[in-house]
Amino acid sequence: MSTRRAANFKWVVPFIYILFLMLPIYWLLNMSFKNTNEILGTFSLFPQEFTLDNYKAIFTDPTWYNGYINSLIYVCMNTVISVSFALPAAYAFSRYRFLGDKHLFFWLLTNRMAPAAVFALPFFQLYSAMNLFDTHVAVALAHCLFNIPLAVWILEGFMSGVPKELDETAYIDGYPFWKFFAKIFLPTIAAGIGVAAFFCFMFSWVELLLAKTLTSVEAKPIAAVMTRTASSSGYELGLLAAAGALTMVPGAIVIFFVRNYIAKGFALGRV
Amino acid sequence: MSTKTTNQKAWFLVAPVVVLVAFNAIIPLMTVVNYSVQETFGDNLFFFEGMKWFEEVLSSERFHDSLLRQLRFTFIILAIEVPLGVAIALAMPRKGFWASVCLVLMSMPLLIPWNVVGAMWNIFALPEIGLLGKTLNSMGFDYNFTRQPFAAWVTLIAMDVWHWTSLVVLLSYAGLSSIPDAYYQAARIDGASAWAVFRYIQLPKLKHVLTIAVLLRFMDSFNIYTEPFVLTGGGPGNSTTLLSLDLVKIALGQFDLGPAAAMSLIYFLIILLFSWIFYTVMTRGENN
């Protein structure tokens, strides 16, 4: 048994880790409130001439703020598609044995392993051929490649944690399958759905290579706007830092909403 | 786990997922296979080349070098992130307000777009204007990650540890939370040491989540592209050119579709093979 004193100093470990996590973020924020001259000219822990110009530039320029809107649209579409497609499939995997189930499950997971770099060019050709190039749907569908397998994997874990007697009782009581699924089963695994949605949102929001390949103007994601601006307008670090800082906002909001699911939800299922 | 009933109708529930994923996976994969056995001279003229590209890639020194770099990178970050993640999860408060604070703050890096992570670390580590670079240099270390391969590697690994250790923490935390308090009480009555509690109570419970964590970290670190591309661009020289970076250089930079496609397939097979080995080794105990 660890001594009392050791237990009292346990918080040091997560504290130092969080400090380490916050340092680059602090530096990015620091940069975003400086103008280019100050960034390149002086080294200071806090902005000497505090300015909001970088943020103003982003909120008044449609290329910039449309980037955020585009990203959010396809990320939300992808999260809804991935989770709703994955739900029945995960139920099948957790409850039934059927021809080829194990192979199918592993095949789904292999798609999670496919390097995006491998698929970039063929995806471009495929979605161009279907006239979907530069639409939000294209990116949302393309991200299903890695998000659906993940959602199935997570949900299957949660569903296997629910005793089978729940299903059997409901069927004996005369519930048809879909009614049982929607009314009883889904609320039971709400935490699992929250965790799966969180992961889908996360992986779709942070992915750049495919999103960049599949869009040019209409659906251009914020990450692509950033890389193109970085190369075209020279070395505007302040603007880039502000744009980067703003990309953290949707993530922070999502974390805030699912914080209870993360805390409780992870613990429920096998995941 | 309860036993499953055999029901072939379950295929109807799986079908939508299979159709959608197959559309995204099989058509592009066949395109890649197509390119990998053909030679093109433009004008959409293709000639069958058989295994030529595969032989060329497998025997090229450039591919060996990137593969070695990739393996080194993946094993270093796994060796750091997995033990560190477990240690942090063990030290975290189990429940209550502070547990939520920890979880929310630790999830932050996971939700930052990958190019922003690269850009952020670039700004953070630049020797003249970055906090890390400036601090190290003023402490007397000669540090410049844009010129020194070793410094570039350290920065790359620090960035990945910063970016992904939280995933291991979250998963381990979930595994630890699922241990009933009664286990710990029993251990206290028996006078078990902290090590014994970890070895015989916590570690077995962590096994499943750690399998997921190792697999996810393995696959994702093998596929890593955006962060090193933004941070170092593969340099200085070729010192941080990992497999994905090299692949994109060949495919989109030089437009050598044949070799790029062959390399893609070899690349994919390597990931598949390693994942399968990890998966079988780590889940072997569960079936017995």
B255 torsion bin: left (phi>0), alpha (psi -120 to 50), beta (else): left
> Quick one: pLDDT band at residue B69, thresholds 50, 70, 90?
very high
**A83 at B interface, C-beta within 8 A:** no
Kindly report the average pLDDT of chain B as a whole number: 84
Instruction: Specify the number of domains making up chain B.
Output: 1
Chain A residue closest in CA terms to B180: A267
B78 pLDDT above the threshold of 90? yes
Candidates A127, A20, A221; CA nearest to B124 is A20
Q: Which candidate in B1, B4, B165, B245 is best for mutational testing of the A interface (most A CBs within 10 A)?
A: B4
Mean pLDDT of B214-229: 86
Digit-coded pLDDT (tens) for A83-127: 999 999 999 998 888 888 888 888 888 887 777 777 788 888 888
Q: Residue B162: its chain A contacts at CB < 8 A?
A: 20-21, 24
Tell me the per-residue pLDDT of A151-178, one tens digit each, with 9 for 90 and over: 998 888 888 878 888 888 888 988 888 8
Residue B233 pLDDT exceeds 60: yes
Note whether B31 and B20 are within 8 A (CB): no
For position A269, what pLDDT does the model report? 43
As given in the structure block, the two tokens for residue B171 are 């998963």
> Mean pLDDT for chain A?
83
**Is residue B62 assigned to a domain?**
yes
Query: Using CB atoms within 10 A of its CB, is residue A72 exposed (0-12), middle (13-18) or buried (19+)?
Result: middle
Question: 3-class DSSP state for residue B270?
Answer: helix
The percentage of chain B sitting over the pLDDT mark of 70, rounded to a whole number, equals 93
CA distances from A176 to A84, A96, A160, A183, B9 (A): 19, 17, 21, 11, 15
| Window 118-137 of B, Cβ < 8 Å to A | 119-121, 123-124, 128-132, 134
Give the separation between CA A136 and CA A218, rounded to whole angstroms: 8
**Residue B101: pLDDT band with limits 50, 70, 90:** confident
pLDDT, position A234? 52
Q: Which domain holds residue B194?
A: 36-287
Question: DSSP class of residue B223?
Answer: T
Q: What is the pLDDT of residue A263?
A: 55
Query: What pLDDT shows up at residue A168?
Result: 87
Judge whether B129 lies within some domain.
Answer: yes
Q: Which helix (H) or strand (E) holds B26?
A: helix B10-36
Domains and CATH numbers, chain A: 57-268 (1.10.3720.10)
What local confidence, expressed as pLDDT, does residue A2 receive?
46
Tell me whether residue B80 is in a domain: yes
Q: Is B212 on the interface with A (CB under 8 A)?
A: yes
- In Å, what is the CA distance from B5 to each residue of A8, B2, B47, B97? 50, 10, 51, 43
CATH number of domain containing B238 = 1.10.3720.10
Residue A19: per-residue pLDDT: 92
**B108 domain residue, yes or no:** yes
Shortest distance between the Cα of A119 and any Cα of chain B, in A, equals 6
Output the pLDDT for position B147: 84
Is pLDDT above 50 for A271? no
Q: What is the mean pLDDT of residues A21-29?
A: 91
Asked whether residue B3 is assigned to any structural domain, the reply reads no
ipTM above threshold 0.85: no
Q: For strand B5-6 and strand B46-48, is the pairing parallel, antiparallel, or unpaired?
A: unpaired
Least confident of A26-40, B16-30, B62-76: A26-40
pLDDT for residue B77 is more than 90 = yes
Is the separation of the CB atoms in B145 and B232 below 8 Å?
A: yes
Chain A residue numbers touching B27 (CB-CB < 8 A): 122, 126
* Chain A CA closest to residue B123: A28
pLDDT, residue B158, reads 94
pLDDT at A268: 43
Sort out which chain A residues have CB atoms less than 8 A from B134's CB and list them: 43
Check pLDDT > 80 for residue A130.
yes
- B83 pLDDT exceeds 90? yes
Radius of gyration of the CA atoms of chain B, in A: 23
pLDDT digits (tens, 9 = 90+) for B18-34: 998 888 888 888 888 88
Q: What is the pLDDT of residue B41?
A: 65
Give the model confidence (pLDDT) of A233-265 as tens digits.
456 788 888 888 898 888 888 887 777 766 555
B24:A145 CB<8 A: yes
Distances (CA, A) of B84 to A9, B77, B90, B112: 17, 10, 10, 21
In this prediction, residue A17 carries a pLDDT of 93
Phi and psi at residue A97, in whole multiples of 5°? -105, 130
Confidence class for position B44, pLDDT limits 50, 70, 90? low
Confidence at B93, pLDDT banded by 50, 70, 90: confident
B17 touches chain A (CB under 8 A): yes
Residues 88-147 of chain A with CB under 8 A from chain B are 88-89, 91-93, 95-99, 101, 104, 108-123, 125-126, 141-142, 144-145
**A21 reaches B (C-beta below 8 A):** yes
Predicted pLDDT of residue A264: 55
Question: Are B251 and A206 in contact (CB < 8 Å)?
Answer: no
Residues 6 or more apart whose CB falls under 8 angstroms from that of A120 comprise A209, A210, A213, B248, B251, B252
Per the domain annotation, does B252 fall within a domain? Answer: yes
Reported in sequence order, the residue ranges of chain A that DSSP labels E, i.e. its strands, are 96-97
A189 and B CB contact within 8 Å:
no
> Is residue B15 a part of any domain in this protein?
no
- CB-CB neighbours of B3 under 10 Å: 6
The model's pLDDT over B131-155, given as tens digits with 9 standing for 90+, comes to 888 888 888 888 888 888 898 999 9
- B-interface mutation test, from A226, A266, A270, A271, most B Cβ less than 10 A away: A266
pLDDT tens-place string over residues A43-75: 778 888 788 888 988 888 888 888 889 999 999
List the one residue out of B73, B71, B84, B106 whose CA is nearest residue B210.
Answer: B84
Dig out the tokens for B183 from the structure.
């286990």
By 3-state DSSP, what share of chain B in percent is helix, strand and coil, each rounded to 5?
75, 5, 20
Asked whether residue B14 is assigned to any structural domain, the reply reads: no
Question: Which pLDDT does position B3 carry in this prediction?
Answer: 67
Strand locations in chain B (E): 5-6, 38-40, 46-48
Share of chain A above pLDDT 90, in %: 18
The reported pLDDT for the residue numbered B156 is 92
Could you give the CA distance from residue B60 to residue B214 in angstroms, rounded to a whole number? Answer: 30
